A and B are shown apart, each in its own frame.
Chain A
């Protein structure tokens, strides 16, 4: 062995992979800059309000006083023991169910009838769809006038059937149906357009196959059209239900929740508590409840859609 040992080989400098190349870093910064305005606004005006509402729901506050008084779960206790709250909740659910079911039935029939080459099809569609975009406040005012008991237009159509004039707006039994009628009127066009799009997506080969097998139109509907339309029906049921739960404009103008809260609904009740009576804490509890209901529906939707819907 020679005395002179070879100088130890210097280990190669370990190759360190830069976690981010220059490019990637630049891209990340650009990404952040581009999405910053959206995320800032979403955070402040959409996400943060959930937590702030939860916080406020534990306090008694009138929105003006500098101090909020902590009262724990008192707002929730008051809410669940308040008969008006239960009435309002009941109204909201009844209204949503009626609106969704009737709207779906009418709009599906219209879509089925319309789903062919038809003269004037786009004209019919344009008119029936128009309430989707027309200002709800203005529309609600015409309806108030149409439902007027003495000179209202609706009386003209009820008279041949011998129906006595109804004071829709001021009657405790008819104010909620009045609201339901107007909301259905507003919403048919949207559902119809979505159904038409759904029908267009059904492959025509299936109908050809049905023709070969000699199905009659009723079988055709129940074995081909309806099952293949189920994603659309499901989508419209859920979105329709959620938007009915949130209805405000039409009701605020048409009946303002009256008489005696018989046509009052959750969002209007929330508005009254928050901005008329300044019961901020209580209104926040209501807002949170609405949030929980809608989240629950959305989650249930995700689970059920896998089971019910044929894609």
Chain B
């Protein structure tokens, strides 16, 4: 009963509800405004762009900024490249993660814990140290300017393995034992029992990895030198670097091309993504 009386009190700090909303609205605007500004700039005419104080919403919406921006660089090609590399990367990374997570969770092996520690050690190593060695390896393999060059060096998975292993371990072990008694091989136990059970976390992991690969800039920048192999972030950066003599309205339109897929994914799955990140940090 006491909980009913006391439990209402939560660590909510010593300010009123209205003030709370004001603070949160301020920060929501501060974070959201740049995105709004990107959109509204992309819809303006060159004259409206160069006015001060600025116009918040254009008088007539200039949709053709998008088609002009699209033609400043081979954005169609960039899109194809980004999708191919991100999707194959996700498929490979998740498969690799699932296999090793299953091994670490469900296969008995003497040195299992040792190998797990070795794998975790990789988390501490900054990926930037690998830029030059990886470039040298890939140029020896003649993988520069190829999809596999963009994808393969980054499909090993520590985070994904860790996350899936936790999940596999949380499944009641009687399920795995039943599979063993029925004579299911480890591979079949993984594909028919472990993975279907892990569906919720698997979905979040796939989206998380996809966004990471879609946004990746540094590695594709290094490993592509030909325009037709560039991914969207690299292509977008090149558009600006080369000073194609395009106005801010076109640049913002081009930036929106890059953001749209991420925003769609985020819009539909933000709650799950946020939950996964919060859970991962608290447990890990």
Contact = CB atoms under 8 A, between A and B. Distances in A.
Interface of A: 24, 27-28, 30-31, 34-35, 37-39, 41-42, 44-50, 52-53, 56, 63, 106, 109-110, 112-116, 118, 120, 122-139, 141-143, 145-146, 148, 150-151, 153, 155-156, 159, 185, 188-190, 193-194, 196-199, 201-202, 204, 207-208, 211-212, 216-218, 220-221, 224-225, 232, 235, 242, 246, 248-249, 252-253, 267, 270-271, 274-275, 280, 283-284, 287-288, 290-291, 294-295, 298
A34 B237 contact: no
A239 to B, nearest CB: 8
A27 B109 contact: yes
Nearest to B266: A133
A297 to B, nearest CB: 10
A298 B125 CA distance: 10
A130 B255 contact: no
Contacts of A270: 128, 131
Chain B CB count within 10 A is highest, among A24, A37, A53, A207, for A37
B119 A137 contact: no
Q: Chain B contact residues: over half helix, strand or loop, or mixed?
A: helix
Contacts of A188: 27, 31
Contact of A38 (B33, B37, B99, B252): B99
Nearest to A293: B126
B86 to A, nearest CB: 12
Contacts of A139: 34
B217 interface: yes
Contacts of A235: 281
B30 to A, nearest CB: 7
Contact of B100 (A35, A123, A194): A35
B178 interface: no
Interface residues of B, number: 107
23 contacts: A38-B97, A38-B119, A63-B136, A112-B12, A132-B277, A133-B266, A133-B273, A138-B233, A141-B240, A151-B51, A156-B53, A185-B31, A189-B31, A193-B274, A201-B282, A202-B11, A216-B14, A232-B281, A248-B218, A253-B237, A253-B240, A275-B222, A290-B128
Nearest to B38: A142
A142 B31 contact: no
Given A31-B103, A114-B24, A274-B131, 19 more contacts: A30-B103, A37-B96, A45-B152, A53-B132, A109-B23, A116-B10, A122-B271, A124-B27, A135-B214, A137-B217, A137-B258, A138-B255, A138-B256, A141-B251, A142-B35, A145-B37, A159-B53, A188-B27, A294-B124
Given A135-B233, A145-B41, A271 B2 contact: no
A191 to B, nearest CB: 10
A133 B211 contact: yes
A28 B107 CA distance: 8
Contacts of A156: 53-54
A44 B10 contact: no
Interface in B3-28: 3, 6-7, 9-15, 17, 20-21, 23-25, 27-28
B197 interface: no
Contacts of A197: 278-279, 281-282
B270 interface: yes
B184 interface: no
Given A35-B99, A115-B12, A294 B252 contact: no
A34 B100 contact: yes
Contact of B218 (A128, A249, A280): A249
Q: Chain A contact residues: over half helix, strand or loop, or mixed?
A: helix
A228 to B, nearest CB: 9
B11 A127 contact: no
Contact of B23 (A110, A131, A155): A110
Chain A CB count within 10 A is highest, among B6, B12, B132, B215, for B132
A27 B102 CA distance: 12
B237 to A, nearest CB: 5
A113 B218 CA distance: 37
B156 interface: yes
Contacts of B139: 63
Contacts of A38: 96-97, 99-100, 119, 156-157, 161
A290 B126 contact: yes
Contact of B99 (A34, A280, A295): A34
Interface in B127-161: 127-137, 139, 152-158, 161
B233 to A, nearest CB: 4
B32 interface: yes
Contacts of A115: 10-13
Contacts of A47: 122, 125
A56 B155 CA distance: 25
Contacts of B12: 112-113, 115-116
B103 A34 contact: yes
Contacts of A295: 124
A6 B240 CA distance: 101
A115 B54 CA distance: 36
